Amino acid sequence: MGIQVAYYQEEDRLDLIVEDNLDLTLTRQILEACQFIDERLSTCVIDCSGVVRIFDSGLALLMMLLKKLKRFRTRLVLIGEIPGLNPKVLPLSTIAVAA
């Protein structure tokens, strides 16, 4: 299934819903989602509650996305748990974690 991407311009919000495996097969979709990240984006919601397995390549893609969010000081809302990713060490200054 991959990632569902929704950009809400009126709210300056980007929603990413990750389903199934988080791996290298999501590269194109992650890069397309990165195009929405700029100085106007205020919030990015990443819903990982549907992630079944995470691979190192998927973790690397997610970290790339998070670094770009940090560069533009975008608030991150992370929904669900990602095995191998500790929210306390995410490279962001503002993060909210929802279970």
Give the right CATH number for 2-98 from 3.40.640.10, 3.30.750.24, 1.10.275.10, 3.40.140.10.
Answer: 3.30.750.24
- The CB density around residue 23, as the number of other CB atoms within 10 Å, is 16
pLDDT at position 39: 94
pLDDT digit string (tens) for the chain, length 99 residues:
689 999 999 999 999 999 999 999 999 999 999 999 999 999 999 998 999 888 989 989 988 998 999 999 999 888 887 766 665 555 544 445 555
Round to whole Å and give the CA distance between 44 and 85: 17
- The CB density around residue 11, as the number of other CB atoms within 10 Å, is 11
